[in-house]
Amino acid sequence: MQTTERREDAVARSRDINARGVLLFALWLGVSAIAISAAMFGLFRWLESRERSSERPLPPAIAASLRRTPPEPRLEAYPLRPRQRLRADEEAVLTSYGWVDKTGGVVRIPIDRAMELLIERGLPPSKPMAAAAPMPVPGAPPPIAGGAR
């Protein structure tokens, strides 16, 4: 009796999936993907040909003015050079020892050394903060100026 039930369960389970429906779905999905790809290919070809047909040669006066050299001052030939020079100068300042204010005795040290010293010595103590003013209570009378009551 158990073998009959097991066989019936197996047959029932095999019928849970509609194989024909799954295959038809996969077929139509593939056909749709191919059709959409072909439509997009055709659309891009049409847009490309339309763009090419709209490109007209420039009138001679405009073409001549575009070929002309602009008047002075011209843009820099190497626009990154000043930025690279500035970065190199900043790097030299950040990685070397030197005087900031010789009369005041203020010096600069490299960042790496400053971090090492900060790790060794810790942060300097901070100044205590002033007490914050209390928040007003809704419905309470406003405080009297001068602090007297």
In a domain, 10, yes or no: yes
In a domain, 63, yes or no: no
Return the structure tokens found at 84.
């690279």
In a domain, 92, yes or no: yes
Considering the domain architecture, whether residues 42 and 6 belong to the same structural domain is answered as: yes
pLDDT tens-digit map of 126-140:
888 787 777 777 877
In a domain, 140, yes or no: no
In a domain, 114, yes or no: yes
What phi and psi, each to the nearest 5 degrees, are found at residue 106? Answer: -100, 125
In a domain, 14, yes or no: yes
State the total domains in the chain.
2
Residue 14 vs residue 95, higher pLDDT: 95
Considering the domain architecture, whether residues 12 and 50 belong to the same structural domain is answered as: yes
Return the structure tokens found at 64.
């001549």
Q: Model confidence at 47, in pLDDT bands (50, 70, 90)?
A: very high
Helix H or strand E segment including 111: helix 111-121
| Contacts (Cβ under 8 Å, ≥6 apart) of 109 | 97, 117
The whole domain housing 97 covers 81-121
pLDDT tens-digit map of 48-62:
988 887 777 777 877
